[in-house]
Amino acid sequence: MISIQNLEFGYKEKKKILKRNSENRPPILRNISLDFQRGELYGLVGPNGCGKTTLAKLIMGIYEPSKGQIIIDGKKRPNLHDGQWKRRIGNVSGASSRLFSTMTLGEHVAMYSAIYDRFDDKWFREKLVEFRIDDKLKRWASSLSFGERIKFELALTLACLPEILILDEPTVGLDPAAILQIRKMVNNYLELHNACGIMTSHNLKDLTTTCVRGGFLQDGYITNEYLSAEIDADELERRYLEVF
């Protein structure tokens, strides 16, 4: 469903006064080609700053590739001016909140259910009960703990029924029980809604239990691709330490 073909991307230097064009930095991603089928997540492993989040942003359309292309369902990936495209993406980032600090959780739910016509309110309420945050809907988003925030964001995102999941370290800062709940929820969602996408995490067990396959992002290239069915987290960690 998602096909990344010979993708290359490098950030630009900040524009300087009196200089017409900004200079390009060396590419952070080089010649990346990947295919994700429906129902599967691809696990991206790599050290901080290797370009995992950049690749996620390229898939979503926040950045445009310098070379190569991203094909979605046989067509070139639309850009962020396309509202329908944005409705198909579900993005959760452990590192940065997507909630508005001056809104309560209940107001977020009202806003998302108004914007996303496929919003599954019943499923969402069930998840809130499961995560034990159903009594916090009247609280300000800024007053949530780190873990509560991620649980709420993930439930809210999946309730919008996205077809493409971009999960950027979604289990960071969560307690072990919550991590298990998150993995189960994502797996159920993939199976039920046939979604696909990528997941990055430094918790390698997340990747082996949630993603069908994955690879290391090393010096801008995808290397050491693996199938989760053939490898466990310990083995993945051993390989990781060998490579990095």
Position 13 contacts other proteins (CB under 8 A):
no
Instruction: Report the alpha-carbon distance of residue 239 to residue 244 in Å, rounded.
Output: 9
Give the C-alpha distances (Å, rounded to integers) separating 82 from 77, 79, 88, 198. Answer: 10, 6, 10, 21
Among 102, 138, 177, 241, binds other proteins (CB under 8 A): 102
Taking CB under 8 A as the rule, does residue 26 contact other proteins? Answer: no
Is residue 63 part of the contact set for other proteins (CB under 8 A)? yes
8 is an interface residue for other proteins by CB under 8 A: no
Nearer to other proteins, 11 or 240 (CB): 11
Contacts 24+ apart (CB under 8 A), 206-209: 206/43, 206/170, 206/171, 206/179, 207/43, 207/45, 207/233, 207/236, 208/43, 208/232, 208/233, 208/236, 209/183, 209/233
Query: Does residue 139 touch other proteins according to CB under 8 A?
Result: no
Give 115 or 192: the residue with its C-beta nearer to other proteins.
115
Q: Is 98 an interacting residue with respect to other proteins (CB under 8 A)?
A: yes
The neighbour count for residue 127, using CB atoms within 10 Å, is 20
- What is the closest distance, in whole angstroms, from the C-beta atom of residue 215 to other proteins in the complex? 24
DSSP alpha helices (H): ranges in 9-119? 52-60, 83-88, 105-115
Site membership for other proteins, residue 120 (CB under 8 A):
no
Chain contacts with other proteins (rule: CB under 8 A): 12, 60, 62-63, 80, 83-84, 86-87, 89, 91, 93, 96-103, 107, 111, 115-116
